[in-house]
Chains A and B, each alone.
Chain A
Amino acid sequence: MTDGHASTDAPSAGRRLGAGVADVLGALYDPVTERDREYRRIAALCAPFAVLVLLAGLYPLAEVVRISVSTAQYRSLGVSFEAYATLFGDPYYRSVAFNSLWLAAGTTAVSVALAVPIAHALEKYDLPGEDLLVTLVSFPISLPGIVAAFMILVLFGNNGLVTAVVAAITGGRPLDVAFAVSVPGLFVAFVYSMVPRATLILRGTYAEVDEAAEEAAQSLGATPFETFRHVTLPQIRPGITGAIILTFRTALAIFGTLIVIQTLVVWTLQISRELGNGWNIQVAGAMATVYFLFTFLFTVLGLRYTSAEVGL
């Protein structure tokens, strides 16, 4: 049995793409070499995931992109860029985009800045009850945004504990002290959801830090801060970049928190409102498309041009 795909090992320069694809398919269908069989196994292992992503992810997204340029409201007809003209022309949507970006960027900066010392303490110090502390810090990862918002109401709401304590000390009225339902309250609620995730990522990075170099720096007379600044930080920098990328993505995706604390209209909340107020699917679709392209490009560029490590 002489066949074409045995030559995959030494592809000729002039081979056309079509023949190459046919070869690959032939190799998957009827493998001859061990390498072909391995490719078939890899394809078989990836197939279920690919089917799910295609049916539940890519096809629905393609439909959304299609409807966003449709001229009809309920069917995909013709091509019109009206929704995009609205999105980029109307100052309202610009302000929504601006709200999303500054809130996500600000909360990401605060969360990662908090997560570095937390991960440092958990991984470097021999603290009593360290396992318990790790469990407690990761517990909120499983809480949806609505519950994170409720936690902020418990602390800083009109009846909140911190509100009551501050009001008692300063003699002010609780209603004046409470700030849960305000932009700062929303900011804190975002940080509540994001700190545990950022910590989880950074702890993974810390686990790979070379301790011998740190000990050497210390024994050569470096202070703990100098050791951190010149030995530890350069090693965890890819992890910090990765944490910033993932935490920023998380922040942009937050929605439930905004349903409970509705003080700022951001991109995700506006998408839901477009559907609520008269099924404005073209604009909602255009917003979803812009969001997807933005996060996709941002992630790809982030991974391509930095040494970021992504993975939890």
Chain B
Amino acid sequence: MVAVSRRVGRPVVTALLLATVAFLIGPIVLTVIASFASSWTGVLPSGFVTLQNWREVLGLAETFGSQRSMGWDPLVTLPIGGGTTVMVPAELAFSVGLALGGVLINLVVGVPIAYAVSRYDFRGREWVNAVSILPLVPGVILGVAFLRAYPELSGTSVGLIVGYSLLKAPFMVMAVQSEFESMPLRRLEESARSLGASWPRTFLTVIVPNASSGIISGLIICWALAAAEFNFSYIVWAKGTQPLALFLQRHISNSSFTKAAAAVSMFFCIIAAVTLLLQQLGRRGFETRGH
């Protein structure tokens, strides 16, 4: 007699996997489809194909009130044809910029500490490792702390950038650490040193360039997570241009279903682009482990 688990084990586990993938991805696909529909009041969205939702969300059509779409700000004036001004969607550009700022801080703080933990053995190494890869506090609590400690600064771009960088730093450290752990660090360092390079020079011109794939993956992951950060932004944001996540929340709470779908789909496009970029670097989606 064949054991039950031999007959049904693998099909059942595989079916569970496929059901979970359907549960995770089904609504994403449905949202993208609905963003091109003019209404969704029946079983399925109807009135295809319209770009009206996308136009309204991106601020290319007239909107008002809480369903207000993105404003457009001038970014730079190009010296073509007597000064052509390049306009960008304000909320999108604002979040892209904030996330970039956070990522730059992550680069400076994350790469060195990942190297210290991967390369050297010292007392308290386990603790330094745990502190660098475990989030210190969640976004809501960091938001409250920022409001209290830096009342003037917390709602500004600087406050948001610093907050994002602390919240997302663990992902940077993990991505870089996984790259470092696959490299012969000691041999690289000793070779460079024996050829006469100083230690700082070895670190900056030998170690860091060799780990570039892990570093770039970490930057991309941190950038995407910072661009989507909601909890911290919700607590500290006061006025002015909204970060992207707050813009999404406003549409999810206030807009018609199809228009909210367009706003969320726009965000999916960003994440999909980021995922493709990560795959070019040899990673399967949002994982910090490359090997």
Contacts and interface: CB of A to CB of B under 8 A. Distances in A.
Interface of A: 37-39, 41-42, 44-49, 51-53, 55-57, 59-61, 63-64, 67, 114, 117-118, 120-122, 125, 127, 131, 133-147, 149-155, 159, 161, 164-165, 168, 192, 195-196, 200, 204, 223-226, 228, 249, 252-253, 255-256, 259-260, 268, 271-272, 275, 281, 284-285, 288, 291-292, 299, 303, 310-312
Given A55-B162, A139-B286, A144-B245, A256 B224 contact: no
A142 B132 CA distance: 20
A200 B287 contact: yes
B284 A138 contact: yes
B57 interface: no
B24 A139 contact: yes
A285 B146 CA distance: 11
A150 B136 contact: no
Contact of A134 (B31, B229, B248, B285): B285
Contact of B284 (A61, A131, A147, A195): A131
A3 B22 CA distance: 68
Given A139-B28, A271-B140, A144 B286 contact: no
B108 A48 contact: yes
B70 to A, nearest CB: 17
24 contacts: A46-B112, A49-B132, A52-B105, A57-B145, A60-B146, A61-B137, A61-B141, A117-B13, A131-B284, A135-B279, A137-B285, A147-B252, A155-B23, A155-B27, A223-B3, A224-B6, A225-B3, A255-B140, A259-B253, A291-B137, A291-B138, A303-B130, A311-B174, A312-B289
B43 A165 contact: yes
B213 interface: no
Given A45-B112, A223-B5, A312-B133, A59 B149 contact: yes
Interface in B123-161: 128-142, 144-150
A49 B109 contact: yes
Contact of B31 (A55, A117, A127, A154): A154
Interface string B16-40: 1100110111111011001000001
Given A49-B109, A121-B14, A141 B286 contact: yes
Contacts of B5: 223-226, 228
A53 B131 contact: yes
A255 B234 contact: yes
Contacts of B271: 139, 142-143
Interface stretch (B58-66, B72-80, B82-90, B163-171): B163-171
Nearest to A218: B6
B101 interface: no
Nearest to B276: A135
B48 interface: no
B249 interface: yes
A266 to B, nearest CB: 11
Given A64-B144, A150-B260, A159-B40, A49 B112 contact: yes
Nearest to B133: A311
A171 to B, nearest CB: 14
Given A57-B166, A146-B252, A312-B174, A253 B136 contact: no
| Overall SS of chain A's interface | helix
Given A42-B120, A224-B10, A268-B231, 7 more contacts: A120-B13, A131-B284, A139-B25, A164-B42, A224-B6, A225-B5, A310-B130
A52 B267 contact: no
State the 7 A-B residue pairs at the shortest beta-carbon distance, nearest first: A253-B138, A60-B145, A225-B5, A223-B3, A60-B149, A45-B116, A138-B285
A260 B41 contact: no
B54 interface: no
Contact of A272 (B24, B113, B140, B285): B140
B42 to A, nearest CB: 7
Given A137-B20, A260-B252, A224 B14 contact: no
A155 B150 CA distance: 41
A3 B221 CA distance: 48
B115 A45 contact: yes
B138 A56 contact: no
Interface string B229-251: 11100110000000001001100
B16 A121 contact: yes
Contact of A117 (B17, B224, B230, B284): B17
A48 B136 CA distance: 16
Nearest to B128: A46
A281 B109 CA distance: 31
Contacts of A165: 43
Contacts of A48: 108-109, 112-113
B140 A117 contact: no
Contact of A271 (B14, B134, B141, B274): B141
Given A127-B14, A136-B24, A142-B274, A149 B252 contact: yes
Contacts of A192: 23-24
B44 interface: yes
A153 to B, nearest CB: 8
A224 B9 contact: yes
B163 A56 contact: yes
Given A63-B145, A159-B40, A192-B23, A122 B234 contact: no
Contacts of A47: 112
Nearest to B26: A155
